[in-house]
Amino acid sequence: MEPPADPAWRLTDDNYVPTLEHEVESRFAVGNGFLGVRGSLDQPTEASRPRTYIAGLFDSGEAVPSLVSAPDWLRLRLRVDGEELSLERGKTLDHTRTLDFRRGLLLSSLRQRTAAGVTVRIRGLRLASLAWREAAAQVATIEVDRPCRLELEVGLGPATSSLEAVHQERGLVVCRVRRRRDLLAVGARSSLRVDGRALAATGDEPGPVVWAWAARPDEKASLTRVVAFAASGSEELATLGVRRALAGQASRISRLLRRHAGEWQRRWSESDVAVEGDPATQRALRFAVYHLVSAADPSNERVSVGARALTGDAYKGHVFWDADVFLLPFYTFTWPAAARAMLMYRYHTLPAARAKAASQGYRGALYAWESADTGEETAPPFALGPQREVIPIRSGIQEHHISADVAYAVWRYWQATGDTRFLREAGTEILLETSRFWASRARLEADGRYHVRGVIGPDEYHESVDDNAYTNAMAAFNIECGLAAAELLRRRWPQRWSALRRELALADEEMALWREVQQGLVTGFDPKTGLFEQFDGFASLEEVDLGAYADRTAPMDLILGPERTRRSQVIKQADVVMLLALLGDRFARSVREANFRHYEARTGHGSSLSPPVHALVAARLGAVEVAKRFFDETAAIDLDDTMGNAAGGVHIGALGGLWQAAVLGFAGLQIEASGLRFEPHLPAGWKRLSFPVQWRRRLVRVEVAPGRLSATLERGPPMSVYVGGERGHLRRGETWRCELGGRGRRQGGESWAATRSGRGSS
């Protein structure tokens, strides 16, 4: 199978460098939300780190749970007249890996000359099926330029350090997670055809399977492997799942490939962001959407998307706020079923959130800063510094804004989808229990206002701060949404409301207190300057000119040292600017401009989540060149490994932020009560920006070009579209066009000289 001809649909690597191999493996991963397979070599070297991750399968390590890696099924050992083929020996004539975004395939080609002078070409294909998520496949073709003896060996590797084999039979092995009762079954079916004829093998899966034959230049050998995975608490169910997959339609490679490509075509039709006039941006957006689609599984409500998805070991597969505020918008507007499943993960982990709140002396639900399968707090209590000193990690104790982030995602999903079943059965309970938490977390003090003390906001350089503006404003929004959801249930579904009130022991007096807290929370806003003080006392800290560190290659906390950083106004990542991104429609333009200008100059961008937020907010303000600079910086995080840690997996939150910067930023998408609003500001050189968006069971195609916008309703009942003061009414199959005039791309804001970003470790 040939790679796509269009470079915008592919990522290619043709230069094997051992020291860069791990980051390449992250970029070239294939996945389907249940399986994640790193893009390691088919003939691994000493530098290889092959991994296949299973969503939701964790082992309880010595400190915190870690995502389990399945037995290695990828290794192909090929011996040519007894000499094993490898990039580490012989003469490599050419070697290429290509990630095919459009079809969700990893394609490879290796041409190697052995010491004896035989030239061998191996072409490979790898996928994690988007049609049957328990199935993965590996295909390889082998050709030689002269007669020789070939031996090909495949098999399922031994159990990894987190697994121990408990049962084995022909074609299948069952492993138990060492510190838990979970079981993983893995099975494989392999065949080799030489010049169209099936060749008999010695040995059976899971052990080595070996084919040996006399190869000729005019023949092609074709290997086909289908591997199935099933996780369960029951050995019987896990084994049954694998057997069904290997005996069913997924075992037929032609059908597997066809259905897989069809599912990818469907996903692209509902998620592709097309940019004309900027090839680098086009490839970056397709790379982002590819990995976002690969990360989600709408069929599983018990898992969410970790900080590196299923592409690497960093953060051990843990789920952070990234899932709720950086990823959910993409899924909500392009794949609502996936968004719903991720929010149901938050619903199913409510018991753990309640337990965490109670453990800290609060009511309601305090979500884990880092969570795995159960929703319990999995943030490590400490880390080792550069000198192996013990550094306390307080995020799991103090980073409480996570509960408001989850509530925000619930409410925005409801607004965009109108999913009443979710709101009735799960969403309202999340909103109420997080509201209850904030009402118990805030304290009424002598000034007559409510305060939240001793927290960490998004800016993790400053710990144990009081009245963090982002935290308090989001908490107030959380309570507002909780009260609105309660009123909605009371009016529309009174029986459900009565049952939920009884279940939560929720009295009118308590909800009246919530309103008082919501209206009385300190946000640090100064109406004279229009600025939010990031937290109480921030303005009195040392100012540091980040422009003097424009050429830095390390994050600012390492350059200044932790103590000086805490005493300074240097910010790790978007904090108040994050507030502008999430609730910007509530603030006057002058307020947004003043705060962006003030805090952008103080932000070191020590997290991958910071540049996309700045790109989004700057784009909405019309500061297009500033926005595009941050957009390009976001795109480079994984594609160029500018933060130096892509080896641990792709930065899926930043990739979600890249989509937001394009669609919510440059196109200016916002939700209205009766439709969608757009306020476009296209970068110079962009001739066209087009994308699909879903809103309340409708599918709209949007196209923005300099000076005009068009929207076509492809699916669903009539709706409205707004641009500035103009309103268009859409019926199915109709297109509405609007001349943007002065509302198109703006040149303003270029005096906001963006500080050069640091390189952090998130």
- List, by residue number, the catalytic residues: 460
At 379, the amino acid letter reads: A
Q: Could you tell me if 153 and 77 are in contact, meaning their C-beta atoms sit under 8 angstroms apart? A: yes
User: φ and ψ at 544, to 5 degrees?
Assistant: -125, 130
Strands 183-194 and 172-177, how do they pair?
antiparallel
Q: Angle CA(52)–CA(57)–CA(59) in degrees, nearest 5?
A: 105
Q: Could you tell me if 133 and 149 are in contact, meaning their C-beta atoms sit under 8 angstroms apart? A: no
| 76-105 b/e (C-beta count within 10 Å ≥ 16 → b) | bbbbbeebebbbeebeeeebbbbbbbbbbb
| Longest pairwise C-alpha distance within the chain | 90
Structural element, H or E, at residue 392: strand 390-392
Q: Which residues contact 507 (CB under 8 A, 6 or more apart)?
A: none
Which of 227, 409, 225 minimizes the C-alpha distance to 332? Answer: 409
Distance between start and end Cα atoms, the chain:
37
User: φ and ψ at 701, to 5 degrees?
Assistant: -100, 125
Q: Could you tell me if 70 and 186 are in contact, meaning their C-beta atoms sit under 8 angstroms apart? A: yes
Find the length of the chain. 762
Q: Could you tell me if 168 and 203 are in contact, meaning their C-beta atoms sit under 8 angstroms apart? A: no
Number of neighbouring beta carbons within 10 Å of residue 589 = 11
Answer left, alpha or beta for residue 709, where phi above 0 means left and psi between -120 and 50 means alpha: beta
Q: Could you tell me if 721 and 711 are in contact, meaning their C-beta atoms sit under 8 angstroms apart? A: yes
Which of 25, 254, 4, 204 minimizes the C-alpha distance to 105? Answer: 4
Task: Enter the tokens of residue 392.
Answer: 């306390």
Query: Per DSSP, what are the bridge partners of residue 678?
Result: 723
Q: Which strands make up the sheet holding 83-84, listed edge to edge?
A: 83-84, 77-80, 148-154, 209-215
Tell me how far apart the alpha carbons of residues 741 and 403 are, in angstroms, rounded to a whole number: 42
